[in-house]
Amino acid sequence: MDADRLPIIGVTTYLEQAKQGVWDVRAAFLPQQYFGAVTASGGAAVLLPPQPEAAAAAVLGGIDGLILTGGADVQPELYGAERHPLTDPARADRDAWELALLRGARERSIPVFGICRGLQVINVAFGGTLHQHLPDALGTERYRLGGGVFAANTVAVGSDSRLAGLLGAGDTVVQSYHHQGVDRLGDGLVVTARTDDGLVQAFELDGDHDLDDYLVAVQWHPEQDAADRRLFAGLVEAAAAFARRRNATVMA
């Protein structure tokens, strides 16, 4: 990799009806906090709106890291569950796109970071399931206050994990906005943070913590904390290392 080139981070987006001037159309949409956190951490952000799955391979050939962002609920049909009345309407195009990106990233050893919905997509891709409405499962609304207000929750980060290497082990306060969460953990994943009610708040791949197999996912929204970019910095570092390895392979 050119020493002057920033690591290129692909960031998935929503596809929403949006108004701008006289136009009212479906458009790619992503809060600035996501790609602002990437650039503030030394990466270059490229937005990846839902597209046909066949485009995933071409996209993955041009990025060094992948962020699966927050958004609408994953389709419960993907993990064999009946739809809860409060589960969001299906976003089949986004689910298929992100699952294709994740599969391709794993095949290529591209570093992956999942945020909120992104964690849930990864868990489902690895064979896990989700609680579709946490107030039913846990009896609390602590994770989604509503009205666009993020809830502060304390999570306990386990030691001897990649996450602990980024945030430190022990309690940390995070910003939450979700009504679903991990039920059965996917195969090959290990929990690295929980809240005091037992809900999974972060996981990563089980095994070694070297940069050539980087996957970290958190249930909270680290992009909301402008004073703390450690999770984004961790992905950018892993992406830079991946780009160097890929460049060395091409040169060889």
Residues taking part in catalysis: 116, 221, 223
Q: What are the start-end ranges of the H helices in 4-154?
A: 32-40, 56-60, 92-108, 117-125, 134-138
CB 91 within 8 A of CB 75: yes
Give the pair of three-digit tokens for residue 156.
């306990």
Question: Phi and psi dihedrals of 13, rounded to 5?
Answer: -125, 170
CA nearest neighbour of 106 among 56, 168, 151: 56
Q: Is the dihedral of CA 227, 232, 236, 238 positive or negative?
A: positive
Run of H or E residues at 230? helix 230-251
For residue 200, CA distances in Å to 5, 134, 249 come to 36, 12, 37
For residue 135, CA distances in Å to 85, 90, 142, 154, 178 come to 13, 21, 9, 18, 11
Question: Phi and psi dihedrals of 58, rounded to 5?
Answer: -65, -40
The whole-angstrom separation of Cα 207 and Cα 211 is 12
Query: Taking each helix axis from N to C terminus, what angle separates 230-251 and 32-40, rounded to the nearest 10 degrees?
Result: 60
